[in-house]
DNA sequence: TTGAAAGCGCTAACAC
DNA sequence: GTGTTAGCGCTTTCAA
């Protein structure tokens, strides 16, 4: 059943059917109803490929992320998909893994599939070496590229970020004010966002003259699901004789490990040991005590990302970089701040 | 740059270019190289829409799930997407929510987009009322439909399930053998899989003459992320004077809540209170003690689902229902089983 | 081994 | 307000 069949049965031309299909106004109500009736009767739906061929678009957005099973990324994908669909766009999902070559391959594939735009979810798509980011510039030459949680200046590239620097900075200051001075920063990523967080920690500690040892910054290299390995990492640090009574984690998984570490060594939380996580995910409520965590307003970021993308697709001038503030959600792993005075 | 441009520059016809592009054998090596060189030089990639129009396929699979931010579903989507891509298929993701109307709408959309097959992730796509499942039958009239964690017999529908009944049944028996008899079953879904689980619990309890009260089966109705509400549900049950020393949860989130409940009321785990969760997700390792949980071999299920789908698309006869066994992963929330004698 | 040409089903510019 | 027709870029017979 195609547009010719319908036009024949309705006794009109294919152009008229096409007009009805696309909601053009210059069709008489009578003809319109006649055509709609036939369409309904035969349950006709237009062929998406043919339509794509003519319009050179299929209202589809490519969504790339390293690992959709990561709690945070999964949530981002969820919001993005919902909001795209609400605006008549489909999303083709590509889970690329963390390898650059795979990302480039996925990117080319999406371009070949003629997506109308590409969304890169997560900050691991931006690399230190300028040349490693060429694939983004190339893609942006064809379609708009949106970055969630990473900033990259280039034509046709739009970035939506949470102010990770300030979030971690302020959280660190908060913990210092609560009376903890030997605060370890525990992280597992050197992505764009990862660097900003680390910088926020460094700045806060330096302002208070507390960045006395490189060991305060602990990099965990391993699976983001292997809580046991993270806990072991901290125990190993303790075993070197290094002392710390607070920990700020770049991620709730790491914070969970910190809580486990404290329990293992009978450190009372938050009296002997304070913990702050990041993402304010489900995990922060799973532990006991529940974890104070930084909420980076993921849904807001996603909403704004889609709005910006739709604006760009609609031919409007849109901001190249948009920054939102995070918020510290206080729970049981931190002490009250000592009043200033 | 299209196939005409390439044919012109290579001094051959478009048919020859097309043959080279599609790896046809009846092209002389010399011509082939010549064409490939031009293609390379101009970085030409064929237009996916035009190809789709001709072939009536774009190597795309529609993936539907209620909520991609659910830990379990997110993981399933991850595996599915990876395995599809490895086999040259893209996936269009649709997060439908739990509402039937939205599911039907998404389904129609995927059909319209000419996907080659549809995968329904999660058991909430199958309804009790036969008429509510018509949308699946309709879709299957067009393309193969794959079900993950649900079974539904219909032409062109293929089901891959974990044996939830047996998993829960055996886990329940295990807990009974460990000396706990008043075991609550805590669940939040009446989906296909949800019913199978409940039946497994019922069977095990009845076999031991322990299903003495309807209150043993507790249905939680609320957000699957609201741990506090789940905990409150259990506390409310306790407040009615109902006594229970074990709990089997249909989901790790519920199990987390059970652990929190026990702590709140100073029940020592596992001596005074035993807990078994389901899915063996990251959450089961986040709690303290870590939660004994049923692993339903998600990756194996997904692998098999894709293999089956590819088989069907390849025109092969494939099994309509495939069942895998789950496995109980023992951690800190259960006691050792009393030896049988 | 290669080329010519007829679709695939739709959109949109143009004519009436 | 409606119809005619030329693409869109590819695949695939059918001839040569």
Could you give the angle at which helices A29-41 and A14-21 cross, rounded to 10 degrees? 90
Lookup: tokens for B237: 């049950």
Q: Which residues of B touch A68 (CB under 8 A)?
A: 68, 74, 77-78, 81
Residue A210 and residue A22: Cα distance in Å, rounded?
65
Q: Is the dihedral of CA A263, A268, A272, A277 positive or negative?
A: positive
Peptide bond into B289 cis (omega under 30): yes
Q: How far apart are the first and last CA of chain B?
A: 79
Ordered domains of chain B (ranges, CATH) = 1-44 (1.10.260.40), 45-162+299-327 (3.40.50.2300), 164-296 (3.40.50.2300)
Residue B47 and residue B5: Cα distance in Å, rounded?
13
A328, A323, A247: which is closest to A280 by C-alpha? Answer: A328
The string of pLDDT tens digits covering residues B36-52 is: 999 999 999 999 999 98
- Is A198's pLDDT higher than 80? yes
The string of pLDDT tens digits covering residues B130-164 is: 999 999 999 999 999 999 999 999 999 999 999 99
Nearest residue in B to A65, CA atom: B78
Residue A252 and residue A294: Cα distance in Å, rounded?
9
Q: What is the pLDDT of residue B341?
A: 42
Burial class (CB in 10 A: 0-12, 13-18, 19+), A188: buried
Question: Confidence class of residue B251 from pLDDT cuts 50, 70 and 90?
Answer: very high
Q: Is the dihedral of CA A65, B159, B220, B330 positive or negative?
A: negative
Residue reference for tokens 């970085």: B43
- Is B264's pLDDT higher than 70? yes
Which of A68-77, A136-145, B52-61 has the lowest average pLDDT?
Answer: B52-61
The string of pLDDT tens digits covering residues B166-180 is: 999 999 999 999 999
Assign B65 to helix, strand or coil: strand
Q: Kindly report the CA angle at A223 between A105 and B258, in degrees rounded to 5?
A: 125
Burial class (CB in 10 A: 0-12, 13-18, 19+), A131: exposed
Q: CA distances (Å), B65 to each of A16, A183, B71, in order?
A: 37, 42, 12
Write out which nucleotides of chain D lie closer than 7 A to a protein Cβ: 1-5, 7-13
Q: Which residues of B touch A138 (CB under 8 A)?
A: none
Residues 211-240 of B with CB under 8 A from A: 225, 227-228
Q: Is the dihedral of CA A136, A141, A147, A152 positive or negative?
A: positive
Which 44-83 positions of A have CB less than 7 A from strand D? 50, 53-54, 56
- Is B319's pLDDT higher than 70? yes
Cβ–Cβ of A260/B288 closer than 8 Å? yes
B306, B143, B37, B88: which is closest to A113 by C-alpha? Answer: B88
Write out which nucleotides of chain C lie closer than 7 A to a protein Cβ: 1-5, 7-13
Asked if B51 CB < 7 A from strand D, the reply is: yes
Q: Which residues of B touch A50 (CB under 8 A)?
A: 53
Q: Torsion over CA of A32, A34, A38 and A41, rounded to 10 degrees?
A: 110
Nearest residue in B to A66, CA atom: B78
Mean pLDDT, rounded, for B247-263: 98
Cβ–Cβ of B52/A56 closer than 8 Å? no
- pTM for this entry: 0.93
């Amino acid at each position: 059943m195609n547009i010719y069949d319908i036009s024949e049965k309705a006794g009109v031309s294919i152009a008229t059917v096409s007009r009805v299909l696309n909601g053009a106004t210059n069709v008489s109500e009578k003809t319109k109803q006649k055509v709609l009736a036939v369409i309904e009767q035969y349950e006709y739906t237009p062929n998406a490929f043919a339509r794509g061929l003519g319009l050179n678009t299929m209202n589809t957005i490519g969504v790339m992320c390293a690992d959709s099973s990561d709690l945070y990324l999964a949530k981002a994908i969820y919001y993005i998909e919902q909001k795209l669909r609400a605006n008549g766009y489909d999303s083709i999902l590509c889970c690329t893994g963390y390898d650059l070559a795979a990302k480039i391959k996925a990117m080319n594939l999406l371009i070949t599939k003629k997506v109308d735009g590409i969304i890169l979810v997560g900050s691991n798509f931006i690399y230190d070496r300028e040349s490693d980011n060429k694939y983004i510039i190339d893609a942006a030459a064809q379609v708009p590229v949106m970055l969630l949680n990473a900033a990259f200046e280039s034509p046709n590239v739009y970035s939506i970020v949470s102010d990770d620097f300030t979030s971690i900075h302020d959280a660190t200051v908060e913990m210092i004010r609560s009376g903890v001075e030997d605060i370890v920063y525990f992280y597992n990523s050197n992505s764009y966002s990862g660097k900003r967080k680390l910088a926020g920690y460094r700045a806060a500690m330096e302002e208070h003259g507390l960045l006395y040892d490189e060991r305060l910054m602990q990099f965990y290299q391993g699976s983001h699901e292997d809580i046991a390995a993270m806990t072991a990492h901290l125990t190993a640090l303790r075993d070197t004789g290094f002392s710390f009574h607070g920990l700020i984690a770049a991620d709730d998984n790491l914070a969970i490990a910190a809580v486990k570490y404290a329990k293992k060594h009978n450190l009372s939380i938050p009296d002997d040991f304070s913990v702050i996580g990041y993402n304010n995910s489900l995990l922060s409520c799973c532990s006991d005590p529940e974890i104070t965590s930084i909420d980076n307003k993921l849904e807001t970021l996603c909403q704004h990302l889609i709005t910006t993308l739709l604006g760009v697709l609609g031919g409007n001038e849109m901001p190249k970089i948009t920054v939102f503030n995070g918020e510290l959600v206080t729970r049981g792993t931190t002490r009250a701040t000592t009043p200033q005075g």
